[in-house]
Every structure is written in C-alpha cells, then in structure tokens.
C-alpha cells in the first residue's frame, strides 16, 4: 500500500500542477485519487512483465525441443527459472489474474520488443547463468534471485522507464513507488503459502481521508501558510525559493497546523524525504531548517 510519505508525495505533486493550472478543488481531488489508482495499474503491469518473462522462457524451451538436431540441453532443458516458486506465486495470484482480465492493456505480448530484449539480456547475464548452474534450489535463494532480477532488469532498466513514459506519463513519475511495492510483494512471499491478495493502494478510508484533507487544507489555507513561511525566511526573499520547495514547505506547515495528532518530528522527516524526491540535494537541509524553526517557535510537539 501507499505509505503516508507516498501520499504526501502525490499531494505535493498535484499542488505543483495546481499552482501552474488552477482547477476547482473537487476536480483536483478526483484527479489525485485517480492518479493514485493508476499506480496500482503500473504495479500489475510490472508483475505481468515478470510473468511474461517466464512465459517467454517456456516458449524458448518448447522451440528448442522441436529442433531437428537434438542435444542434452534440448532434451533435458534446465527448468530452474520457470519452476521458480516466486514466479509461480505471482503467476497464480488470483487478484492479479482478475484485475488483468478487466484491463487487457496491462498484458504483454510475447513478441513485444522490450520484453524480448530484456529476456535476451537476462539470460545472457552472469547472475542468471550462475543461478541456473547452482544446485542450491531453496525457496530463499530463488526469492533472492527474483528480487535481484527485478531490480536489474525492470526497476533499473532505462528502456523500461522510457516505455512507461510513452504508455502513461504519470507512470514514469510513480515508477519508484511501484518498484517498492513489487519488492515488498516478493519479500512477503513464503514457501508453500500462495498469496491471493496483493498490496492495496490505500490501507483504509483513513488514508483516503488523509490525502483529501491534506490537499484541501493546503489549498484553502495557502495564503495564511505562505505568510507564516515568509516570517521564517528572515533574510531570504520568498521569490528566491523554487516553486517546488515553496510547495513542500507550505504543505508541511499546513500539516503541522491542521493535523495535531501527528508528531512534528515525523512530519518534518517525511517532508525532508519528499524534498529528496522532487528537489535539489541541498533542499532537504533548507526544508529541515525552516520546519524545525517553525515547530520550535510554535512549541509544536
């Protein structure tokens, strides 16, 4: 599921869009929730890519079996990859199957150029070849291998990232969130315990309420929060601050003011991390300094 940090990221992202192109708050809110839901589509799309890699491996084995000249490798092919229990659990997951059946655009054709190229790179790679040679076939080793395979050939695959930009622009921005969800999915799997559910985007209605309230309160109280920010800048001119840093700080000030049950240190740390995603290397220090000063002067616990 999305953590509160990722929800804050999405709110900041939409506030940035709102500052450049204001729309009614209810429209902005619907778009926010829609974009969050799209992350789940990306999550399924990536899981389907992993399943497709397995299907392509099976196809290649069948093609080899039908070759006129037989070898030991074609007669007794190494099936360690296609029998991997992690891949099997992903393939058998009923939630993935049901969602994909309703969203055919999330499937992969086995002749897809990106899929084929990724498969060829994977099987030619040292990690894959070493894995296939190893006699150790424990669940844990297979789990570790699939986790590393995902990082190398999907999460860190520039071609995959470019493909997402072409297919759905917002996916490119949320790639890191979906990658984290995939890693957690793989890590949570247990031997002989097939999972029939996947990670949800929102844990419960409380998360959705948090997202909507943070968005609305920040928009409604923008001018007031901006004045509070200006007071803390001292020798800095508000115009010298980048728009994204300004949005991060105003959103954080809003949360500090209107979400009293969340400890100030948690809020500050969360927005420091948000600044690392959207802003420059030095922004997190700037954000920390302003928010720390704000909370101390307010005696905000």
Q: What is the pLDDT of residue 68?
A: 60
- Residue 124, in any domain of the structure: yes
- Residue 9, in any domain of the structure: yes
Residues 46 and 166 in one domain: yes
Select from 188, 212, 243 the last residue of a domain: 188
* Tens-digit pLDDT profile for residues 242-275: 999 999 999 999 999 999 999 999 999 999 999 9
- Residue 215, in any domain of the structure: no
Segment 214-238 mean pLDDT? 91
Select from 143, 163, 188 the last residue of a domain: 188
- Residue 193, in any domain of the structure: no
Query: Cβ–Cβ contacts within 10 Å for residue 148, how many?
Result: 14
- Residue 265, in any domain of the structure: yes
Select from 137, 172, 188 the last residue of a domain: 188
Segment 39-62 mean pLDDT? 96
Domain count of the chain?
Answer: 2
- Residue 159, in any domain of the structure: yes
Residues 160 and 227 in one domain: no
- Residue 260, in any domain of the structure: yes
Q: What is the pLDDT of residue 71?
A: 63
Q: Is 7 left (phi over 0), alpha (psi -120 to 50) or beta?
A: alpha
Residues 237 and 175 in one domain: no
10 vs 259: CA distance, rounded Å: 18
SS3 281: coil
Residues 178 and 229 in one domain: no
* Tens-digit pLDDT profile for residues 62-121: 887 776 666 666 667 789 999 999 999 999 999 999 999 999 999 999 999 999 999 999
Residues 114 and 233 in one domain: no
Q: What is the pLDDT of residue 196?
A: 77
pLDDT band at 136 (very low <50, low <70, confident <90, very high): confident
pTM: 0.87
Q: What is the pLDDT of residue 67?
A: 65
Residues 101 and 46 in one domain: yes
Q: What is the pLDDT of residue 15?
A: 97
Residue with tokens 């695959």: 157
Kindly report the three-state secondary structure assignment for every residue of 172-224. Answer: HHHHHHHHHHHHHHHHHCECCECCCCCCCCCCCHHHHHHHHHHHHHHHHCHHH
Residues 34 and 120 in one domain: yes
Mean residue pLDDT of the chain comes to: 92
Residues 37 and 151 in one domain: yes
- Residue 199, in any domain of the structure: no
Residues 178 and 262 in one domain: no
What is the CATH number for 286? 1.10.940.10
**Contact status, residue 149 vs residue 122, Cβ threshold 8 Å:** yes
pLDDT band at 1 (very low <50, low <70, confident <90, very high): low
Residues 257 and 174 in one domain: no
Residues 179 and 238 in one domain: no
Which residues form the domain of 154? 4-188
Segment 163-182 mean pLDDT? 92
Residues 165 and 230 in one domain: no
Higher-scoring residue by pLDDT: 274, 1? 274
Tell me which DSSP letter residue 66 carries.
T
SS3 14: helix
């Amino acid at each position: 599921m999305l953590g509160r940090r990722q929800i804050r990221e999405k709110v900041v992202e939409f506030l940035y869009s709102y500052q450049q192109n204001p729309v009614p708050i209810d429209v902005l809110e619907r778009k926010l929730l829609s974009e969050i839901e799209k992350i789940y589509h990306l999550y399924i799309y990536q899981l389907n890519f992993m399943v497709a890699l397995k299907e392509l491996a099976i196809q290649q084995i069948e093609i080899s079996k039908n070759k006129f000249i037989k070898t030991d490798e074609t007669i007794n092919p190494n099936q360690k990859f296609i029998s991997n229990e992690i891949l099997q659990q992903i393939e058998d997951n009923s939630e993935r199957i049901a969602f994909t059946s309703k969203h055919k655009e999330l499937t992969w054709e086995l002749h897809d150029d990106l899929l084929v190229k990724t498969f060829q790179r994977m099987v030619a790679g040292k990690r894959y070849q070493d894995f296939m040679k190893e006699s150790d076939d424990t669940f844990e080793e297979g789990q570790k291998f699939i986790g590393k395979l995902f990082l190398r050939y999907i999460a860190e695959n520039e071609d995959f990232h470019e493909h997402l930009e072409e297919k759905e622009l917002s996916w490119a921005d949320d790639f890191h969130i979906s990658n984290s969800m995939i890693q957690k999915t793989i890590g949570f799997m247990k031997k002989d315990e097939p999972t029939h559910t996947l990670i949800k985007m929102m844990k419960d209605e409380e998360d959705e309420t948090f997202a909507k309230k943070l968005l609305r309160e920040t928009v409604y109280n923008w001018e007031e929060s901006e004045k509070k920010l200006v007071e803390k800048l001292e020798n800095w001119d508000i115009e010298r601050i980048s728009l994204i840093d300004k949005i991060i700080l105003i959103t954080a000030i809003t949360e500090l003011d209107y979400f009293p049950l969340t400890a100030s240190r948690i809020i500050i740390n969360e927005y420091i991390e948000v600044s690392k995603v959207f802003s420059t290397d030095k922004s997190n220090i700037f954000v920390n300094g302003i928010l720390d000063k704000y909370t101390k002067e307010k005696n905000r616990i």
